[in-house]
Structure formats: C-alpha cells, structure tokens
Amino acid sequence: MKMTSFASSATQDLMRLASIPHRSALSPFRCSSQIPRPQLSFSSSVQGFTSRIAIERKGRSSIPQAAAVRQLEGSLNRTEGLRFAVVVARFNEIVTKPLLEGALDTFRKYSVKEENVDVVWVPGSFEIGVVAQSLGKSQKYHAILCIGAVIKGDTSHYDAVVNSAASGVLSAGVNSGVPCIFGVLTCDNMDQALNRAGGKSGNKGSECALTAGTADAMRRCSWILEEYPVSEFLVLPGHHLYRMNYQKLIETHRKGKADITAVALSTARNQDPGFGLLKIDAENQVLEFTVKSETEPIQVRSSRNPVEIASIDKWSMGIFLINRDIMLKLLHEHFPKANDFQSEVITGAISRGMKVQAYLFDGYWNDMRSIKSYYQANMECIEKSNLGYNFSDRDSPLYTMPRNLPPTLISDAVITDSIIGDGCIIKRCKIKGTVIGMNTRIDDGAVIEDSVIMGFDICEVEGVQRSSRDGKGNGIIPIGIGENTHIRKSIIDKNARIGKNVMIINKDKVQEGDREADGYIIKEGIVVVLHSAILPDGSIL
C-alpha cells in the first residue's frame, strides 16, 4: 500500500509572508492520493508543529489493516468549555483594535461564547508578558492571546520593546504552563501594520485566535487515541511533499519492537531541514537527538546507551510512529503541560530511555516552509531532467478534486515545459517552465517564464471591467495578466489584477524587499505578487 503526504499548512508565518492561502502544495492541484486502504487521520498544531495523526487498527493478521476514512481537525470546532484571555496593548490602538476585532470575530465564528473570552488592555507591548503570565497562572484559561503592534522608528527603542515583548510572552507560557500566543506585530512602518490588521495581508488577530484553538490540540484530541482500538499512531508534519510506503515503516517499527520510530533522511543535505539531528548506531537505534527550540538547541541522550559507541548523524523528517500506550503516557503522565511535540515530548521520551529507532527514507522529499522551497518544488515538478515529484507516476497517481470548470482554451500560444490548470483562457502568448492555476486569463503578447500563477476563483465577463471606472476616472484592471506583460521567476497569488505592459522581472536583482503597500514583496530573489493585488499598466517590478 503506497500512501502520499501532499499538503501545506499553517506554516502560517512563512507562507503568509506572501499572503498565499493555505492549499495543497502546488497551486493548480488540490491533490489526494488514490489509496485503496485509507487510514483514519486528523491534523493538529502544537505551537506551530502542524501534525497529521494516522490511526492504524489492530487486526488478526500481522499485516496492518486500515480503517475507514474519518477526518478530525484539531481546531476551534470543539469549543465547549474552553476559556480564552486576550491581552491587548493600547499603544498603536489604530492597529491593535482591528487585530482584537479579528480575534473576537474568529472566536464568534467558531461558537466560543462571549462570556468565555476576557479582554485585558495594557499600556503597551512591553507590559503584555507580565499580565499574560499572571492570567496563565490563574489556571482559568486554556490559552492566552497576546496582541500588540511595535512600529520601527529612528532609535533603538524599537529593538528593546520587540525583544522584551517576545521574551515576555515566551516566559509567560513557560512559567504558567498555559499556551501564550504571540500576536505582536513588528513592522517597519504603519502601512505594513495596517495591512496585517485587516488589510492586504489579512488579519493577524484572527490567525492568532485560530492558533490559540489548536495550540494544545493533540492533547485535547487524545480522546481519539483512547476511543479507537489501534496499535500505533503516525504523526506527520503537514507541509511536506514526498511519496512514502508507510507499510514498510510500520513493519520496521514492529520488527524492531520500538516504542517510537523516527523517520530520517538517508542522504546528506546541505541545509538543516529544521526537524533536528538524530545520532544513530549501526542498528539504527537513536543514541542522541538535537533539536532547535525558541531559545537554544536542546540535546538529549538516551539512557539506554550510556557508553559512547560508533554512530552516524541523520536529519530527522519530523515524522514519528508511536505505540498507542506510549503516546497516552507521554501526553498525560510524563509531559501533561508540554506544548511542543518534538522538542518536549520526543526529547523527553529519549531521555527517559524509551526505545527509539530510526527509519531511513531515501526518496524525494521537500519541506515547503518558505517561499523559496515552495517555488523550487513547483519548478522541480515540471523539469525534464532532475524531475522532483512526479505527479504522473502510473504506480501511484495523484488526482485533482473534481471541479465544474470548462476545459482550458488556448489560442495560438507557445507553451513549453509547463502545467496548465482547468478553466483557463490563454491567448497569443509565450509560456515556459511555468505552473498555471485554474481560471487564469492571459492576454496577447504576454511572456511568462519560470513562474507560478496561483489562478483565480473569481469570474468576470471579458471586456466589462476595462470599460468600468473606479470613481477616479480610471479603468478598472480585469483579473488576469494583461497584454504584453512579462513575468519571470515570480509567484502570482490568487485574484491578482495585472495590467498591460507590466514588467515583473526583478531587473535590479533584489533579494529581499517589502512593498506590501504596492502589492508585492521579494523573498530570496523571488517576486511575490500578493493576493488580490492590483498592478497598473506599465508597472515595473
């Protein structure tokens, strides 16, 4: 049985840098594997660690059997009895008030009762940590949202306040044992702050509320662990792109009689994937585990191997197969207040001498937690040589979700090494090495190279918008890509309106740039046009 992990999560902070909505990893697709024996799974996020737990039922056979599919999301959907506190800074109230309103609207949307949310105002972001810690220690709340806004000025005061606010919120969570969610905006100017408080970049207060609902989700959803007659739980990060046969992983876990099996990359990588470093012996037993935390690296050594022996280092993939009884003990008995699954729960299991072994994976794997890695994954899927993830693998195909869209219409266009979604209208243009999302409109003379076009979920009658006005006498630019526009090495987020004769080519080769007010940013040399941005005719980026 081959199963595929193909999702992107909340890596909210990194992916939302470009206001990219959370979706399946490569934009034109909303993919799911064709799995003959689907497993029960649910997703959760524990302090930014987004996980999918797959449950495998016991059976008479030694071969693992899968249950019927049932999806459960660790979120605010189960809000009965949950209480939240919101600590809000009054300084920069023009920003913090919309952030608070976004958080409260999210709570209302998910049926959190108003009497179960307490709002506490403090003078500024500097004071948030002290009040949050006091509220946490009262043991009245399941999570505390910390909302503020610090805008950079001409002095070093900004750095002092930002550092104090961040360390204060972190300390409040550690000392009180209650998740304290950091929702303090740190911006270069007021435009950036307002964009993040309900403007072009969404409302970070709303995102903060969602995070509060899922910070302790794995533990709060542990009733699933107790309810189902299962043997093991498979914990998966939700922002990876790879194809793995989980059956082999399960068989290796059982054969080794391990308490926990950690999946690691068998081949060396130039960069740390960010899930820690495993030191293993010749039999793949984990001797030592080093993982990053918010403050400093955490290194633990297994008490099962007190004597130094020969070992090799392998990067962890953040994937763990855990025995059911061990999972329950770790979450409820050994670490009942832990908020981070990897840096607290897994490291704790190793230090306690539990049998933790490694399973080495040698296939394609991409961790899409940044703009650059997301872009590279898209480009690799269309390369003829050095093909990354093969979406056309006949042994394990992927299918898009069914849509009621017309077929794509292509009129005298030159298209090479590209993927085109459904419902597009592509006129006399040139497209090379590009992923084109659904409902995209591309006009005559456009040239698009090495880019990702997210697509559109808005439909407009062609020609109507050009003839209408925006109140200032200007014609409104229609959705899509206008005539004679040139786009190179860029990501165009959904519903962008790009006018005629626009140049998105990063002609000055800028590596980092924040022009949210103008509808785009640049990350690691990649231009990202933001969601619903409008680029007037003749714009040069």
Domain locations in the chain as residue ranges: 84-222, 232-293+309-367, 373-535
Catalytic residue, from 142, 157, 332, 334: name it: 157
What is the pairing mode between strands 490-492 and 526-529? Answer: parallel
Encode pLDDT of 45-84 as tens digits. 333 333 444 444 444 444 344 444 444 444 445 556 678 8
pLDDT of residue 40: 34
CA-CA distance, 329 to 335, in Å (whole number)?
8
- CA angle at residue 189 from 188 to 191, to 5 degrees? 130
Residue 388: the pLDDT is 67
157 in active site: yes
pLDDT of 216 reads 53
Per-residue confidence (pLDDT) for residue 19, from 0 to 100: 31
| Angle at 95 (CA atoms; ends 94, 99), nearest 5 degrees | 125
Q: Quick: pLDDT tens for 301-354.
A: 877 666 567 778 888 888 899 998 888 888 888 887 666 777 788 888 888 888
Query: Yes or no: is domain 84-222 CATH 1.10.357.10?
Result: no
Element (H, E) at 85: strand 84-89
Q: How far apart are CA 509 and CA 399, in angstroms?
A: 37
Residues of the chain with pLDDT under 70: 1-81, 154-156, 211-228, 269-272, 293-296, 304-308, 337-339, 384-388, 400-402, 459-475
Instruction: Look up residue 475 and give its DSSP letter.
Output: B
**Under DSSP, is residue 308 helix (H, G, I), strand (E, B) or coil?**
coil
How deeply is 271 buried, as exposed, middle or buried, from its count of CB atoms within 10 A (0-12, 13-18, 19+)?
exposed
> Do 373-535 and 232-293+309-367 fall under one CATH topology?
no
Which residue matches tokens 């908020």? 339
For tokens 């729960």, name the residue: 345
Q: Which fold has domain 232-293+309-367?
A: Spore Coat Polysaccharide Biosynthesis Protein SpsA; Chain A (3.90.550)
Q: Which fold has domain 373-535?
A: UDP N-Acetylglucosamine Acyltransferase; domain 1 (2.160.10)
Place of tokens 């290194």: 299
Q: Which regions of 113-192 does DSSP assign to beta strands (E)?
A: 117-122, 143-151, 180-187
